[in-house]
Amino acid sequence: MRKWLIMMLTVVMFGGLLAGCGGSGGSSSGGDNGGDGKSGGKVQLTFWGDWGGEGQKQFETMVDAFNKSQDRIEVKYMLQQDMVTKFLTAATSGGAPDILFWDRWRTSLYAPKNVLRPIDEYMTRDGLNPDDFYEESLKELTHDGKLYGLPLTVDARALFYNKKMFADAGLQPPTTWDELEQAAKTLTKWNGSKLEVAGFSMGDPGLFNMYLQQAGGQMLTEDGKTNFNNEQGKQVLEFWQRLLNEDKVYKIGFEEGLGEGNDAFVTGKVAMLYTGPWMMSTYNKYGKDLDYGIVPPPSGPNGDQGSVMGGFGLVIPQGSKHPEEAWEFIKWWTANKDNALLWAKTSLNMPGFKPALADPFFTEDPLWKPFTETLEFAKTRPTHPGYSVMEENAVIPNLELFMQNKQSLDDTLKKAQEQGDKLLADNASVE
């Protein structure tokens, strides 16, 4: 999570839009539906989101296009700070919006609170095919067998690499952990005790889930307990230990030490890193001298592939005064190829509607192809209500100690398991 916050701040500094996690801040615009929600014969809908700046402009482009596409409904986007807290308050006071921009992983936390409206009946009535959406993204919007929204964006981490550095060293982009390690060793440059170029960025312990998949493992068991204090978890930490302490391809704190506003990949201080499509607009805009390529995440020791699918959705609050019209807006945006493609071209996000990703806009661009390939095997985070608490408060702190050489491999896995299982049990039910 700490690395995620640093990355988000970096994107804001560069003026780019972080599309796979969180949104930009900004001043809040009011929030009720106003009377009966009708004006000039049109049904007035409120759409809450927490993307400001460029993100707000992108949302408003879609809202304007919808409003012009018909004459029955008018949607207004309202930027909200601390959106989820305001939404929960509004849900009990009668001031809920009609449509909500939704970080999908929250579904398992808030669906049990009865603040979201299931959409299964709408899907069946209008003949929407679930196969047109990534199964994992729908799974993340599902709780207790009910679907609560449709995916607006999908994303996954892939490996970005500096093409010039690779060409100068006679290297090909890696496809396995071994190849990744060898490339990182070759591209790392030290000047005495000072690291000048890191062969591979390793500053984000939150990527453990992705590496664990590549080792053939998964974070939780079917009955909701931790599942990483095992051979697969050990393989991940042995790999990290080798890269950090033997190969010395990275130094913890290296990127932060470059100073505020300096992106290590843009400035050529990092040769490879894992990130998502949300960074492409930033690299394209500010990395004028940066020639980069992207490949799917390298496979682990036994050929297993892994990446974590993230992204957002659109949901209808239970308190919406106009759920039918809200559904029309959501369906127009997320389940229509032309509109999903307009969203993609407007925001440079990957839409959740798979037919749109078959468009030449994606298939003929070599920078998009690795992401569409990665999404075929990427998995969402477990939908256990306590998963995010477990990862943030048990797994990541122990991994940080390990990466700083303050805790052994065995102790790291054991403590993360013990603390993680307790947090999962404590947060197994949502009230």
| DSSP character at residue 224 | S
Kindly indicate the confidence band of residue 11, based on its pLDDT and cuts at 50, 70 and 90: very low
Write out the DSSP string of 246-286: IS----TTTTGGG-TT--TTTTTSBSEEEE-GGGHHHHHHH
For residue 297, give the DSSP letter.
P
Share of the chain above pLDDT 90, in %: 81
Task: Specify whether the CB–CB gap between 352 and 134 falls below 8 A.
Answer: yes
Strands (E) across 122-206 are located at 142-143, 146-147, 149-151, 153-156, 158-162, 189-191, 194-197
pLDDT for residue 431 = 61
| Chosen CATH of 156-308 out of 3.40.50.300, 3.40.190.10, 3.30.70.640, 3.40.50.970 | 3.40.190.10
Run of H or E residues at 364:
none
Asked if 77 contacts 47 with a C-beta cutoff of 8 angstroms, the reply is yes
Q: Which residue has the higher pLDDT, 288 or 213?
A: 213
pLDDT at 220: 97
The residue-averaged pLDDT of 356-364 equals 93
Where does the pLDDT of residue 8 fall: very low under 50, low under 70, confident under 90, or very high at 90 and above? very low
Q: How far apart are CA 106 and CA 368, in angstroms?
A: 27
At 293 the pLDDT is: 96
Residue 16 has a pLDDT of: 38
Output the pLDDT for position 18: 38
Q: Read off the DSSP letter of residue 161.
A: E
Query: What is the pLDDT, as a whole number, of residue 156?
Result: 95
Region 123-128 average pLDDT: 98
**pLDDT digits 0-9 by tens, 315-347:** 999 999 999 999 999 999 999 999 999 999 999
User: What is the band of 228 on the pLDDT scale with cuts at 50, 70, 90?
Assistant: very high
Tell me, what's the pLDDT at 256? 85
Mean pLDDT of the chain: 90
Q: 91 or 176, which is more confident?
A: 176
Report the pLDDT value the prediction gives residue 37, as an integer from 0 to 100: 59
What does the pLDDT look like over 178-187, one tens digit per residue? 999 999 999 9
Within the chain, which residue ranges are assigned CATH 3.40.190.10?
15-155+310-375, 156-308
In this structure, the dihedral spanned by the alpha carbons of residues 339, 341, 75 and 105, taken in order and rounded to 10 degrees, is 120
Instruction: State the pLDDT confidence band at 375, using cuts at 50, 70 and 90.
Output: very high
Please determine, for residue 260, whether its predicted confidence score (pLDDT) is greater than 80.
Answer: no
Would you say 318 and 326 are in contact if contact means Cβ atoms under 8 Å apart? no
Confidence at 57, pLDDT banded by 50, 70, 90: very high
Q: Per the CATH hierarchy, to which homologous superfamily does domain 15-155+310-375 belong?
A: Periplasmic binding protein-like II (3.40.190.10)
